[in-house]
């Protein structure tokens, strides 16, 4: 038996295991469904992220048919040590103060959270000069002119709290000289694997949390039972943490009844409040293929306010080196030989979805309904369209303009219909075990002792920027909360 049992060795789980085991007087056990990452070369180089999608490590979740969005979304969730931090593009943002204020949870104000940014151990650097793609540099130059945006060299120095706008190469979680990614497995866990008080078990899938007399005491897994004397901590991510709670009888009463899972605690918020950044698509035929130089290939973009509050981005754009046009092909668009893209996403979505189980059998996939573009005032759809219109303005300016032959998509199609049918996910699912609702401000699951959640599911409101660093900052703070309990 260990003191702390951590379920899921992903972004948050690896960080937490390393931090909690710094105290030699406690024992920590980490259970990860997937394999180790040490002998997987694709897990080291950030440039190779896309090679790990839709393959042996990807849970590759599908959704139920979407009423107003794209029903063909494939939600990558990485089942390997490091989790999604092992195969993402690691665009890195210090959490924005305005985003944290939206959380409105005691103890999670900007002054409580931001000091943990300084503790992060992953490398975060501006995209190095040798990784800067000249084609992308041209898109940045045109974005600055077309949209009147400042070109940012350092995004994470606190200046965005005053004016959250700009364009440029991002700051990225990687080592420029080696292209080694900033995963939490590489930068937190690998170097402490020989600690005598830390046990890391890979290839172990947790199927249920064991609850006795109102207290979480351990877990059932594909490898038998594991018990914890102090706490069970779920770090299985925004789809699998609520799924595990529901499989264990903690969740909405009606969902559990329909799935024939005996009710332990009626917690309606489990699996609710699902948020994601929906990403619009605009494609052009290019005069030639851009060079391949890059850090990850999604190294730059723009942040803009559409509704007039410069401290809050409404649209976040990515300027990829290579277009990701699969949903356009699925929509019947003929793609020319050389195609380029700008990808603007809805930074502060108001639509909410949910994840739920339909069976007590852990092998039955979870049901996911993103609810994309279902917010009653049409904000999200409007931002999707505004983002694409802003991208068109960028395309009218030199030097980007000279790269382009013609707009291929959406062209003269109806913008609302075409963009909603072809949008992509930015893989930022979050919010399904929200702090302040499902969890108390100490990240403890309400109604049961000895059980916390620490991962992207705890974010009460999705950050307007890419969230991985926010997840790490939450995990750093969680380590303090747990150690001082
Ligand atoms: C392709 C891609 C690109 C992205 N790019 C960026 C980016 O550039 N910048 C950014 O900020 N964010 C990005 N993100 C999002 C970001 O990576 C995630 O928000 C973040 O990593 C989520 O961390 P987590 O700890 O919540 O979950 P994860 O990192 O997914 O960890 C969950 C872990 O739990 C394990 N697990 C699940 N169920 C079980 C179980 N039953 N038993 C045992 N283990 C289990 C999984 O195998 C996994 O290791 C990207 C994501 C993807 C997929």
pLDDT in tens, the chain (485 residues): 999 999 999 999 999 999 999 999 999 999 999 999 999 999 999 999 999 999 999 999 999 999 999 999 999 999 999 999 999 999 999 999 999 999 999 999 999 999 999 999 999 999 999 999 999 999 999 999 999 999 999 999 999 999 999 999 999 999 999 999 999 999 999 999 999 999 999 999 999 999 999 999 999 999 999 999 999 999 999 999 999 999 999 999 999 999 999 999 999 999 999 999 999 999 999 999 999 999 999 999 999 999 888 888 999 999 999 999 999 999 999 999 999 999 999 999 999 999 999 999 999 999 999 999 999 999 999 999 999 999 999 999 999 999 999 999 999 999 999 999 999 999 999 999 999 999 999 999 999 999 999 999 999 999 999 999 999 999 999 999 999 99
Residue nearest to atom 45 of ligand 1 (CA): 8
State the distance from the centre of ligand 1 to the C-alpha of 333, rounded, in angstroms.
31
- The CATH T-level fold of domain 1-41+70-124+183-270+430-485 is FAD/NAD(P)-binding domain (3.50.50)
Looking at the chain, which residues constitute the CATH 3.30.410.40 domain(s)?
128-169+278-348+373-422
Residue nearest to atom 41 of ligand 1 (CA): 206
Catalytic residue flag (residue 318): no
Atom of ligand 1 nearest to the CA of 82: 49
Q: Which two tokens stand for residue 235?
A: 């770090």
Looking at the chain, which residues constitute the CATH 3.50.50.60 domain(s)?
1-41+70-124+183-270+430-485
Burial 77-99 (b: 16+ CB within 10 A, else e): bbbbbbbbbbbbbbbbbbbbbbb
At 211-247, the pLDDT tens digits run: 999 999 999 999 999 999 999 999 999 999 999 999 9
Options 187, 277, 423, 428, the catalytic residue: 428
Contact present, 370 and 353 (Cβ < 8 Å): yes
Atom of ligand 1 nearest to the CA of 244: 41
Question: Angle 271-275-278 (CA atoms, 0-180°, nearest 5)?
Answer: 145
Q: 3.40.50.261, 3.30.410.40, 3.30.70.3270, 2.60.40.10: which CATH number matches 128-169+278-348+373-422?
A: 3.30.410.40
Nearest to 431 by CA among 383, 475, 463, 469: 463
Nearest to 453 by CA among 44, 129, 28, 6: 6
* pTM score of the predicted model: 0.98
């Amino acid at each position: 038996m260990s003191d702390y049992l951590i379920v899921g060795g992903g972004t948050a789980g690896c960080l937490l295991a390393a931090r909690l085991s710094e105290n030699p007087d406690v024992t920590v056990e980490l259970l990860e469904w997937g394999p180790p990452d040490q002998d997987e070369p694709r897990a080291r180089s950030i440039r190779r992220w896309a090679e790990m999608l839709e393959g042996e490590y990807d849970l590759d979740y599908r959704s139920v048919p979407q009423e107003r969005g794209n029903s063909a979304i494939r939600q990558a969730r990485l089942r390997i040590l490091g989790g999604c931090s092992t195969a993402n593009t690691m665009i890195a943002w210090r959490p924005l103060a305005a985003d944290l204020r939206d959380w409105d949870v005691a103890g999670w104000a900007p002054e409580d959270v931001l000091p943990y940014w300084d503790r992060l151990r992953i490398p975060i650097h501006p995209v190095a000069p040798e990784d800067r793609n000249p084609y992308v540099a041209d898109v940045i130059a045109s974005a600055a002119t077309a949209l009147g945006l400042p070109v940012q060299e350092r995004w994470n120095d606190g200046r965005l709290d005053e004016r959250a706008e700009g364009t440029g190469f991002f700051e990225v979680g990687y080592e420029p000289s080696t292209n080694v990614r900033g995963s939490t497995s590489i930068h937190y866990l690998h170097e402490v694997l020989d600690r005598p008080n830390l046990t890391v078990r890979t290839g172990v899938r947790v199927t249920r949390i064991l609850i006795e007399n109102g207290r979480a005491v351990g877990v059932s897994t594909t490898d038998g039972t594991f018990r914890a004397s102090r706490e069970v901590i779920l770090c299985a991510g925004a789809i699998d943490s609520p799924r595990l709670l529901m499989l264990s009888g903690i969740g909405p009463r009606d969902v559990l009844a329909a799935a024939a899972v005996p009710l332990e605690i009626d917690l309606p918020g489990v699996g609710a409040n699902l948020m994601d950044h929906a990403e619009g698509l605009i494609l052009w035929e290019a005069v030639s293929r851009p060079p391949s130089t890059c850090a990850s290939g999604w190294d730059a973009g723009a942040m803009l306010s559409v509704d007039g509050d410069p401290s809050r981005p409404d649209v976040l754009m990515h300027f990829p080196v290579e277009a990701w046009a699969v949903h356009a092909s699925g929509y019947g668009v003929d793609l020319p030989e050389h195609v380029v893209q700008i990808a603007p996403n809805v930074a502060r979505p108001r639509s909410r979805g949910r994840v739920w189980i339909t069976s007590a059998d852990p092998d039955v996939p979870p049901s996911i309904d993103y609810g994309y573009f279902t917010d009653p005032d049409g904000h999200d759809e409007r931002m999707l369209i505004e983002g694409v219109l802003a991208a068109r303005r960028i395309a009218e300016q030199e030097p980007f303009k000279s790269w382009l032959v013609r707009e291929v998509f959406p062209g003269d199609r109806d913008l609302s219909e075409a963009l909603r049918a072809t949008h992509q996910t930015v893989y930022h699912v979050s919010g399904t075990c929200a702090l302040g609702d499902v969890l108390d401000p100490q990240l403890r699951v309400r109604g049961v002792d000895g059980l916390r959640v620490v991962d992207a599911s705890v974010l009460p409101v999705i950050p307007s920027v890419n969230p991985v660093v926010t997840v790490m900052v939450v995990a750093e703070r969680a380590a303090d909360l747990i150690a001082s309990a």
